[in-house]
A and B are shown apart, each in its own frame.
Chain A
Amino acid sequence: MSPSTKYTEYDAYAAEEAAEGKVFDVGGQDWDKVVGAAEDLGDERLVVNMGPQHPSTHGVLRLILTLDGETVNECRVGIGYLHTGIEKNMEFRTWTQGTTFCTRMDYLAPIFNETAYCLGVEKLLGVTDQVPERAQIIRVMMMELNRISSHLVAIATFGLELGATTVMLNGFIEREYTLDLFEEITGLRMNMAYVRPGGVAQDLPSGALSSVRDYLDRMPKRIQALRKLMDSNPVYLARTKDIAYLDLTGCMAMGITGPMLRATGLPWDLRKSQPYCGYETYDFEVATQDTSDVYGRYLVRMQEMEESLKIVEQCVERLQSVKGPVMIEDKKIGWPAQLAIGADGMGNSPRHIAHIMGTSMEALIHHFKLVTEGFRVPAGQAYAAIESPRGELGVHVVSDGGTRPYRVHFRDPSFTNLQATPAMAEGGMIADVIAAVASIDPVMGGVDR
């Protein structure tokens, strides 16, 4: 196809061609023609627009690559295709309703979004110590299960983007079992809004712990199988070893946290260094590697899944003995109702309805006020950070003393880490750009929010 002959009536590229040189419209299966035409022009430099709709860009990410042959000379990153205004929307809902919004940001790690937000709100309320122990254990268990499911997707899509469908299928099968647990415990596979300010939405249903135990029996073998498939697979090693190198200095400058930072050899994990939700009482190791490359990041993720299983195991043990409420005792903050499954799905439990409608006027008032108006949060600001699968997930919550957040800002690790793409991709081969982006494991829902 000769350049710009497709549009006879309106030449969409006329203005751009004047500024940028020849523009080619690649419609598929016509690469030879483009290469031929580029050769005629005698220009070695080729600017390729990759994404936002591209199977290997890990979501709606746009990369603008300047190529010299197969070498990437310049890489620019375009984001914003999944911006949904979650932070703005949260300013128009109550503090509790905020969880239903922020859970949708990083859709592979919804429990982490909710927990970070709730820890921020609890810090503002000054009730961090009053959250019941059982709720904290459930939070930790859910977070670690979520970490496993998120890392599984990271590794699965990484395989897919490099062309290994087996890895993808295996990863997604295992993730499915994790999501089954989420469904059993929260009622939803994703976007659960399960963690609420003051605790969690509801206690574990009967039978949930034995399901988790079955999962714990199954997973170590499956992770071993994945390791067997990839750890020393020569094709995999060729695509990942010494690729997309980013050392500790680069990570510090770019604000990189999470598995990418730990692959440089620095054991920085907020669960250990600035514990929250009682992480200081669990026994686990911080996974590190010292290769600073894609393979190191993969190994860190694999080891983190194994460590997460250890934490989940400890949670299950504790949940057997630690009983009690899963929502804060303070009636001015704690969501009044417990949920229950009815004939028409999940809703307020009939016992609670009977209580407020039949016996207690005060309970009805509390229920009504908390559900319609919400609770007030004293004015001020707080920053809470947790270790999400991708790094430091921080939330900056500001209150003006009202029933709605004045401002909520999420420091999403995907957003920050994605900035490092040019640093890792420039000077390398175009095929390694895919490996570089996949090793960051960005989730565009979290990047754009």
Chain B
Amino acid sequence: MSSQHPEQQAEQAADQLPAHSEEERKEQPVARMGMFGAKTTGDTSGYGGLVVRQSPKVSTPRPYGGPEGAAEAGVFDEVADELERALGGPGSSPEKAGPDFGDAIERVVVDRGEMTFFVKREHLAAVARTMRDEPSLRFELCSGVSGVHYPQDTGAELHSVVHLLSITHNRRVRLESTCPDADPHIPSLVPVYPTADWHERETYDFFGIVYDGHPALTRIEMPDDWVGHPQRKDYPLGGIPVEYRGAEIPPPDERRSYV
């Protein structure tokens, strides 16, 4: 680089759009890896150089609307309002034990007629308890826990997704909590929803998320002495090539994919 003319260097620096520092650029969801010129695949469309590092951390503005659409305030706004009222705003009452709404909820996403609260993991149990006990919320049924592994989502690789159902009000919401790979701990919801017992064991089994406070967090589907957590993205599918009518078919994870 030093051999280049200073003017050229300045020009190149100006070309690197958008103007972000190195740290900031890591946070950007899309990386531009040099838009033109085929280096590996022969793709000259110009889009091959766009690498999606992670899905952007979107957050839905008010009004949230309802399952039918977000044109005007609807059921989801009601749920958010009630949760905010139940948890209280900053400094609403000094002797209150639980977390504030702003502290507990990172962001709210309304997409495809479904509402997701991204809950900070340390406040998950308190939020779930409020969701269950508050008469205006009353999500009395937990429809299970599901894990998702996002290796690109640095610092929040493992997501634990809880689906709640209110039979009283006939609504559904989703609580999503994240934890980093290095510290895979999320508080257990078994004290609030006993049905989460097996679901959390399953998520632990497949993703390695440790649910703190679970009464007996052991493997449930895989054998007890299994090594690794099979549903993680870094865990290979495995398989052997199969001969079919004279041709050799590779195992599914080695076949051509169009990602």
What residues make up the interface of A, taking CB atoms closer than 8 Å to B?
79-80, 83, 85, 87-89, 91-93, 123-124, 126, 252-257, 266, 268, 273-274, 373-374, 379-383, 385, 392, 394, 396, 398, 400-404, 406-407, 409, 411, 415-416, 418-419, 448-449
Contact = CB atoms under 8 A, between A and B. Distances in A.
Contacts of B13: none
B231 interface: yes
Given A92-B257, A383-B174, 6 more contacts: A83-B221, A124-B112, A273-B170, A383-B172, A403-B257, A409-B144
A248 to B, nearest CB: 10
A92 B239 CA distance: 12
Given A85-B230, A274-B170, A415 B198 contact: yes
Contacts of A409: 144, 146-147
Given A88-B231, A402-B258, A403-B258, A416 B140 contact: no
B143 A89 contact: no
Contacts of A89: 237, 252
Given A126-B112, A402-B258, A255 B161 contact: no
9 contacts: A91-B237, A124-B112, A255-B195, A374-B258, A394-B144, A407-B149, A407-B231, A416-B144, A416-B199
Interface string B92-121: 000000000000000000011110100000
Contact of B198 (A381, A403, A419): A419
A255 B193 contact: yes
A133 B220 CA distance: 41
A245 B163 CA distance: 27
A75 B74 CA distance: 46
B259 A80 contact: no
Contact of B163 (A87, A88, A394, A401): A394
Contacts of B149: 407
Interface residues of B, number: 45
Contacts of A124: 112
Closest 10 A/B residue pairs (Cβ): A255-B195, A409-B146, A411-B144, A92-B252, A83-B221, A80-B221, A373-B258, A396-B146, A253-B194, A407-B148
A402 to B, nearest CB: 5
Contact of A396 (B113, B163, B193, B252): B163
Contacts of A373: 258
B222 A80 contact: yes
A252 B111 CA distance: 27
Nearest to A268: B167
A419 B142 CA distance: 13
A339 B160 CA distance: 41
A398 B199 CA distance: 18
Given A253-B195, A266-B167, A416-B198, A380 B111 contact: yes
Contacts of B194: 253-255, 419
Most chain A CB within a 10 A radius of its CB, from B143, B174, B222: B143
B148 A406 contact: yes
Contact of B257 (A400, A401, A404): A404
A186 B196 CA distance: 37
B206 to A, nearest CB: 8
Contacts of A382: 112, 114
A144 to B, nearest CB: 23
A268 to B, nearest CB: 6
Nearest to A123: B112
Contacts of B136: none
A80 B163 contact: no
A92 B253 contact: yes
Contacts of B253: 92
Contacts of A374: 258
B10 to A, nearest CB: 37
Interface in B221-258: 221-223, 230-231, 237, 252-253, 257-258
A124 B114 CA distance: 11
B86 interface: no
A400 B221 contact: no
Contacts of B142: 255
A394 B143 contact: yes
B221 to A, nearest CB: 4
Given A255-B141, A268-B167, A411-B146, A80 B223 contact: yes
Given A83-B222, A88-B231, A403 B193 contact: no
Interface string B48-87: 0000100100000000000000000000000000000000
A239 B152 CA distance: 56
Interface in B111-167: 111-114, 116, 140-144, 146-149, 161, 163, 165, 167
A204 B228 CA distance: 46
Given A92-B237, A415-B198, A419-B195, A403 B259 contact: yes
Nearest to A449: B221
Contacts of B220: 79-80
A416 B196 CA distance: 9
Contacts of B198: 415-416, 418-419
B221 A448 contact: yes
Nearest to A255: B195
Contacts of B161: 381, 396
A170 B223 CA distance: 38
Given A252-B140, A380-B111, A411 B163 contact: yes
Contact of B143 (A126, A255, A401, A418): A255
Most chain A CB within a 10 A radius of its CB, from B52, B141, B196, B259: B141
A392 B197 contact: no
Most chain A CB within a 10 A radius of its CB, from B111, B144, B199, B219: B144
B129 to A, nearest CB: 14
Contacts of A268: 167
A409 B159 CA distance: 13
Nearest to A126: B112
A449 to B, nearest CB: 8
A87 B229 CA distance: 13
A346 to B, nearest CB: 19
A266 B52 CA distance: 47
